[in-house]
Amino acid sequence: MVENQIAFLGLGVMGAPMTINFAQHNLPIKAWNRTGDRPWLQNVTASGATIVNSIQEAVESASIIFTCLGDIPDVEEVIFGNGGIIHHASPHSIIVDFSTIGSQGARAIALKLKTHQIRFMDAPVSGGDIGAKNGTLTIMVGGEKADFEEIKPYLDIVGKNITYCGEVGSGQAVKLCNQVLASLHMVALCEALQLAKTQNIDPNLIVDVCSTGAAGSWALTNLAPKIINQDYQPGFMIKHILKDLRLVKEVIEDIENYPGINLAQQLFQQVAHQNNDNGYLEGTQAMIKAYGEKF
């Protein structure tokens, strides 16, 4: 792999550990975050990455620019806004966006970037903060196949299951399906743990036994123990899953035929509004609070 200068924009719960993984593979990387006083940024610097104060400093010498942000407006601001990527990136450089912005948003951004001779790939990820730290993320990629082959060695550093899904927007399309599964897995997980309590069964037994059978899932293995321990720290915030479900509903015309999506959205919103709306900042496992259960 040619060690091109790379940039990483967005050092949040996911972006920071991904940047650390790149740096620990001795890749020359400049990183930028909108908020520079986050305590975990010290770990990014310690890994060997260079944290800079502006997008310009990060991207002007980079051939590959990774972004990991929140919603469509965030991605658009970082790319097209005042001082954004388009004003400083080299022609023919490539932006790889790890954010979840929906297929429509990805296609619109890619089309606009063409006029600036900058390539774009949507590469949303799944696996939470655990996957980001361990470099085992699932990455769903949309864009030109040749561009995918170019960035694949870099994706191999932060991901384990990397799939080329098709043209721009295809990675986002698959990610939206993933988020429907993740949302409804959480509903099933909460109700199974609640049922265990109702029957005076230790909920840890549900994790131990059901994880080995047909009902096993990533959520059951990784998030059920957090629910049992009342650990609601976010690996993936409720505000982000609600954003993703909003994107899902934007591409569905007959939403009444998707009762599960509506139920998951209702339960997440119920928790989000708790504690003066601070529920938005808790992990998705906090859905259990909608059931009034404590473990």
Same domain (yes/no): 143, 220? no
Average pLDDT over residues 172-198: 97
In a domain, 87, yes or no: yes
Whether residue 32 sits in one domain with residue 127: yes
3-state secondary structure of 248: helix
Residue 130: half-sphere exposure toward Cβ, Cα within 13 Å? 9
Percent of the chain with pLDDT over 70: 98
The pLDDT value recorded for residue 295 is: 62
| Residues contacting 72, CB < 8 A, separation 6+ | 101, 102, 105
Which CATH number covers residue 189? 1.10.1040.10
**Catalytic option among 30, 112, 114, 175:** 175
pLDDT (average), residues 80-88: 97
Flag whether the pTM goes above 0.85.
yes
- CATH number for 69: 3.40.50.720
* 70 and 111 belong to one structural domain: yes
The angle subtended at Cα 189 by Cα 183 and Cα 195, nearest 5°, is: 140
Q: What is the pLDDT of residue 37?
A: 80
Mean per-residue pLDDT, 39-55: 94
Statement to judge: residues 117 and 150 lie in one domain:
yes
Amino acid at 166: G
Pairwise CA distance, residues 137 & 199, whole Å: 36
Domain for residue 1, yes or no?
no
Q: β-strands 94-97, 64-67: how paired?
A: parallel
- For residue 145, the tally of other CB atoms under 10 A from its CB is 11
- What's the confidence (pLDDT) of residue 2? 52
Domain boundary among 168, 201, 220: 168
Mean pLDDT computed over 76-97: 97
Identify the sign of the CA torsion 2, 122, 14, 134. negative
Number of domains in the chain: 2
Residues 137 and 210 reside in one and the same domain: no
pLDDT at residue number 198: 94
Asked, for residue 14, whether it belongs to a domain, the answer is yes
Are 22 and 136 contained in the same domain?
A: yes
Is 294 a residue whose pLDDT tops 90?
Answer: no
Q: Each residue of 139-167: pLDDT tens digit?
A: 999 999 999 999 999 999 999 999 999 99
Cβ pair 283, 234 in contact under 8 A: yes
In this structure, the answer to whether residues 180 and 141 fall within a common structural domain is: no
Q: Are residues 49 and 157 in the same domain?
A: yes
Residue 38 vs residue 72, higher pLDDT: 72
Residue 3 has pLDDT above 80, yes or no: no
Say if CB 24 and CB 48 are below 8 A apart: yes
Q: Do both 29 and 147 map to the same domain?
A: yes
Write the DSSP string, 127-185: SHHHHHHHT-EEEEEES-HHHHHHHHHHHHHHEEEEEEEESTTHHHHHHHHHHHHHHHH
Q: Does residue 106 belong to any structural domain of this protein?
A: yes
- Give catalytic status of residue 175 as yes or no: yes
Query: Could you say which of 168, 193, 217 is where a domain stops?
Result: 168
* Predicted pLDDT at 293: 59
pLDDT at 254 (0 to 100): 93
CB contact at 8 A, 33 and 51: yes
Inside any domain, residue 161:
yes
Domain finish residue from 142, 168, 194: 168
Question: For 276-286, what is each residue's pLDDT tens digit?
Answer: 999 999 999 99
- Residue 73, C-beta contacts closer than 8 angstroms, at least 6 positions apart: none
Asked if residue 36 has pLDDT above 90, the reply is: no
Same domain, 202 and 269: yes
Q: In the prediction, which pLDDT does 204 show?
A: 97
**Angle, in degrees to the nearest 10, between helices 238-250 and 259-272:** 150
Residues 135 and 191 in one domain: no
Q: Are residues 236 and 129 in the same domain?
A: no
Least confidently predicted of 4-8, 179-183, 199-203: 4-8
DSSP states along 175-200? HHHHHHHHHHHHHHHHHHHHHHHHTT
Q: Give the CA-trace dihedral at 14, 20, 26, 29, to 10 degrees.
A: 70
pLDDT at 242: 98
Q: Residue 59 contacts by C-beta under 8 Å, 6 or more apart in sequence?
A: 7, 9, 30, 65, 85, 88, 89, 93
- Whose tokens are 């601001």? That residue is 77
Q: What is the pLDDT of residue 172?
A: 98
In the predicted structure, residue 90 carries a pLDDT above the cut 80: yes
Residue 163 within any structural domain of the chain = yes
| Residue 124 within any structural domain of the chain | yes
Mean pLDDT of the chain: 95
Domain span including residue 186: 173-291
* 224, 196 contact by CB (below 8 A): no
Coil, strand, or helix at residue 289?
A: helix
Q: Give tens-digit pLDDT for 194-248.
A: 999 999 999 999 999 999 999 999 999 999 999 999 999 998 999 999 999 999 9
Residue 56 CB partners (closer than 8 Å, separation 6+): 83, 87, 88
- pLDDT tens-digit series, residues 252-274: 989 999 999 999 999 999 999 99
1 pLDDT higher than 80: no
Average pLDDT over residues 16-32: 96
pLDDT at residue 39 is higher than 90? no
Q: Is residue 189 part of a domain?
A: yes
